[in-house]
Amino acid sequence: MASSEVEPAKTILLTSVANTIERFPLREGSFSYGTAGFRTLWERLPSVVNRMGILAALRSRAKGGQGVGAVVTASHNPIFDNGVKLVDPDGGMLSPAWEGYATRLANASQYDVLLTVSDIIEREHIDLSTVGKVFIARDTRPSGEILVDGLLEGAKAVGAHVEDLGVLTTPQLHYAVRYSNLNSKSSSLQGYMENIVTAFRKLVELNPKGSDVKIDPIKVDCANGVGAIHLKHLAEMLSPLAEYRIYNDGTEGVLNEGCGAEHVKSLQVYPIGLDAAPNEHCCSLDGDADRIMFFYNNGETSGHAEGDGFKLLDGDRMASLLAGFIHNFVLEAELDKELSMTVIQTAYANGNSTSYLTGQLKLQVMCTSTGVKYLHAKALEHDIGVYFEANGHGTVLFSDKALQLILAGVESNPDPDSSKKARSFHILLQLSDLLNQAVGDAFSDMLAVQIALLYRGWSYIDWINCYSDLPNRLAKVRVRDRSIVKTTDAERRCVSPPGLQDVIDRMVKEVSKGRAFVRPSGTEDIVRVYAEAETNKLVDELSNGVIAAVFEIAGGVDGKQTHKSSK
């Protein structure tokens, strides 16, 4: 666009922005864009969501008109909450620099919104002749329909073409954005379904033990969320090869109430309405189906009583299972010298999971700060990056280099039955299609776990027996000002306030297999304390000691702390 045309074009755009934000006045309070975007009581969000529509359109125009996504969801939060999160053109999370713009826009006065938009246009050198494209979706919350209207208006005010994809899982939207920008026919919802179903079926056929080996049925708690809608379709497409028995499908219960991945992980109890018979395979999705938890009843009880006989297989277990499974085929394909494979964890990963990965599986493990955006970014630095948070959010990423080598191996060995090496190339190719390359995805993770167990002939019992978790505790300490607590080394070391880390180090040295760290919350004045040790008695002593140190040195405001513990 010629310079003489820039100012009139900007004036027209800013006038359009002014008109839309007048309809969505700013609510009281402050907003901060985090890993999950914005998330709070839905009544506070109309202005925020409208402005994120504006920002999504600006982001698209800054990226030369590539598609950008916006999803209205609050994931595992209660039904009266909602939120909004933006998706970059590669299908990943919003660029950190643009997270800053998001926070500025969300908190700006009506007048300052125009200044911020103008500043973004100048800083990002946005060509105003470029037409933006925004894909939007939402989960099943009733408030979503209201909020999506504001999102649509905001994006259209900046001249973007908007495609409303309706009610989708969050990973489905990420997938759609990624593959739309690759000009792929598989960017549609049907394309997403066909892609993972085809990969799953081919993997069953490629099973070295034979394609007629039985796949264990799985009971799936859908948290009364969006996952239930699309899992019913997926189950139909995979029948009779695999059987999915759906619970908490939204017809009667309340979203995330007594069910879902967060409920199962935090309380380590069965979801409401799902009776687990001994050794039955079960799992729970979260409200927007980007996280998954696996669990079973070990047979000690009926599985009806709260927590009795309950055994959890969390994100650490998924990372261990899938990393070992994939690495085996990397070795058989003789790609281990050409490809780097790394497992990415956070400080919350159980110490024995890390020991299993490095000691038993001989894999490289790296640690990042808490937050899936940090794990995803680190995984992208490797040819095969396996990342999972303990909460069940994660996937396996294959680099362009890895895919090129795998494809070359398939082309050189078109018959998978010709050798073990040939079969391994074909298996790796299908796994790269099955596992969502944009974001953690409960559906693709569930199918990948089923394939790994099928190939190995494992039950959940075999899976959990790979290693034993160290007893651990997670606690919260309320403080006057969380900002005085600062960390380094992927949040494993505390550098402020002075002396706190020295106290933690002394306590850890006195405990067998002890480990502990503290980190401030990103949203409220609390400090999280994580501790693990060889026995429950030792971990209780360590946890209580670190809590007391944080309270004294970091300025605790009361003596009431909240604990979560492993079982």
Instruction: Compute the distance between CA of residue 382 and CA of residue 93 in angstroms, rounded to an integer.
Output: 18
Q: Does 288 appear as a known binding residue?
A: yes
SS3 content of the chain, % helix, strand, coil (to 5): 45, 20, 35
Other C-beta atoms closer than 10 Å to the C-beta of 125 total 7
- Tell me how far the alpha carbon of residue 248 is from its chain's centroid: 21
Instruction: Compute the distance between CA of residue 284 and CA of residue 291 in angstroms, rounded to an integer.
Output: 8
Quick one: which of 42, 40, 47 has its CA closest to 23?
47
Instruction: Compute the distance between CA of residue 565 and CA of residue 538 in angstroms, rounded to an integer.
Output: 13
Instruction: Compute the distance between CA of residue 97 and CA of residue 115 in angstroms, rounded to an integer.
Output: 17
Which conformational region is residue 224 in: left (phi greater than 0), alpha (psi within -120 to 50 degrees), or beta? left
Quick one: which of 446, 465, 423, 429 has its CA closest to 216?
446
Q: Does 309 appear as a known binding residue?
A: no
DSSP for 187-251, written as a single string: GSHHHHHHHHHHHHHHHHHH-TT-TTSPPPPEEEE-TTSHHHHHHHHHHHHHTTTS-EEEE--SS
Q: Does 491 appear as a known binding residue?
A: no
Q: Does 519 appear as a known binding residue?
A: yes
Q: Does 520 appear as a known binding residue?
A: yes
Q: Does 389 appear as a known binding residue?
A: yes
Instruction: Compute the distance between CA of residue 265 and CA of residue 9 in angstroms, rounded to an integer.
Output: 51
Token pair for 182 = 């690759």
Q: Quote the radius of gyration of the chain (alpha carbons, Å).
A: 24
Q: Does 308 appear as a known binding residue?
A: no
Q: Does 297 appear as a known binding residue?
A: no
- Contacting residues for 542 by C-beta, under 8 A, at least 6 apart: 507, 508, 511, 514, 516, 531, 532, 533
- Let me know: does 479 contact 528? Beta carbons within 8 Å: no
Instruction: Compute the distance between CA of residue 493 and CA of residue 201 in angstroms, rounded to an integer.
Output: 46
Quick one: which of 7, 49, 59, 58 has its CA closest to 24?
49
- Let me know: does 347 contact 318? Beta carbons within 8 Å: no
Catalytic choice (47, 60, 75, 180)? 75
Other C-beta atoms closer than 10 Å to the C-beta of 413 total 18
Q: Does 291 appear as a known binding residue?
A: no
Instruction: Compute the distance between CA of residue 342 and CA of residue 541 in angstroms, rounded to an integer.
Output: 34
398: which strand partners? Answer: 384
75 in active site: yes
Quick one: which of 540, 538, 544 has its CA closest to 559?
544
Q: Does 391 appear as a known binding residue?
A: yes
Q: Does 178 appear as a known binding residue?
A: no
Annotated binding site for Mg(2+): which residue ranges? 75, 286, 288, 290
Annotated binding site for substrate: which residue ranges? 389-391, 519-523, 528
Active site residues: 75
